[in-house]
Amino acid sequence: MAKGVYKTNKKDGSVYYRVSITYKNKHISIGSYDDENTASQVYCTACDILFKPDIYYVNIDLHTSSYAECHIDFPYSKFISLINFRDNGIYIKTPIYLCNKAFLYFLEPGNTLIFSIDDLFYYSHHTIMCRGGYYFVNDYGMQTSILSRFGIRSHSVKGKDYIFRNNDEHDFRYENVCVVNKYNGVSQIVKNGRIMFQSRIHINGDFIIGTYGAEYEAAIAYNKVADMLEPVFPVNYT
């Protein structure tokens, strides 16, 4: 049996081959394969990733990696995890690469997100998925948008309720995500050159409750109307 490859039987009796590697006293499972030859090639690639940084690397400035140099179907998530372990001395199961005061999350080749270091623990234990540009995690069995960590509601509209300050929609650092409209039924508007807050509710069409100088005042006005229409409308918590 090739080094790093372990023959195992499935419940139905069929054979498959598990691949794992030990690095810095850490035993890391790479994956399972149907034939020994492929499993052996995957193990050799894992060794190369760990010991050939000139070939296998992450470019933190461009938010890219040299994954294209893998000439075998090597798990992308493991590729990033191994490079991060090699370069930063910390093994993280999710595809994270640590940077200065931030980290890169390599969702797939060509799609990399950046987060503030404050979110490291959370995303070390939650795998991000993407469907039609919607990024979410499974949190206690529920699909939770990663925008919810900023207080952004599921029905919020990009460009109206929240913006990316540097126009990079892959940059989820706290200083880059700006929540414009925090409360249900409250929108920021400009009136006579002043920033105002308009409160409106949808009752057979949009009904404007009023325009206020403070956001919390508009939220309170919305709450008063929503209270009269409970339980149909959500209430703001200020």
Whether 89 and 193 share a structural domain: no
> What string of DSSP letters covers the chain?
--TTEEEEE-TTS-EEEEEEEEETTEEEEEEEESSHHHHHHHHHHHHHHHH-TTTS-EETTTTEE-GGG--S---HHHHHHHHHHHHHS---SSSEEEETTEEEEEEETTEEEEEEGGGHHHHHSS--EEETTEEEEEETTEEEEGGGGGT--TT--BTTTEEETTS-TTEE-TTTEEES--STTEEEEEETTEEEEEEEEESSSEEEEEEESSHHHHHHHHHHHHHHTTTSS-----
Task: Express each pLDDT in 102-153 by its tens digit.
Answer: 999 999 999 999 999 999 999 999 999 999 889 999 988 899 999 999 988 8
Residue 199 sits in which domain range? 181-228
Domain assignment present for 238: no
Question: Is pLDDT above 80 for 218?
Answer: no
Overall domain count for the chain = 3
Do 44 and 81 sit in the same domain of this protein?
A: no
Same-domain pairing of 59 and 171 = yes
User: Do both 96 and 143 map to the same domain?
Assistant: yes
Q: Are residues 168 and 146 in the same domain?
A: yes
For residue 198, what pLDDT is reported? 82
pLDDT at residue 232 in the model: 55
Please compute the mean of the pLDDT values over residues 20-43 and round it to a whole number. Answer: 95
